[in-house]
Amino acid sequence: LCDDIRDGDATPPRHRARWLSEAIAALDAADVPPAGLPPRVTVFGVASLPPLFVELLRALARHVPVRLY
């Protein structure tokens, strides 16, 4: 199943925490919004978020509107 998902890519997948940390660093370093970002981010009904997800939303908010409900 993993091979099917990765479509035969021989490189091992990155750990999710590493990917999030790299995404946050890239968003923080970017002066203009990186290509592929949505026009806005809306999060509904979240009672709590892990600190890394809060950091990701903060970094995204530098480039696109982020709303929490």
Rounded to the nearest 10°, the torsion over CA 25, 13, 41, 68 is: -90
Helix (H) or strand (E) holding 28: helix 16-29
Integer Cα distance of 1 and 37 in angstroms: 29
Q: What pLDDT is attached to residue 16?
A: 85
What does pLDDT average to over the chain? 85
CA proximity to 36, closest of 23, 19, 54, 18: 23
Residue with the two structure tokens 């002066």: 31
Reported as a single tens digit per residue, the pLDDT across 7-28 is 555 666 678 888 889 999 999 9
Give the pair of three-digit tokens for residue 69.
């409900």
Q: Are 64 and 29 in contact (CB under 8 A)?
A: no
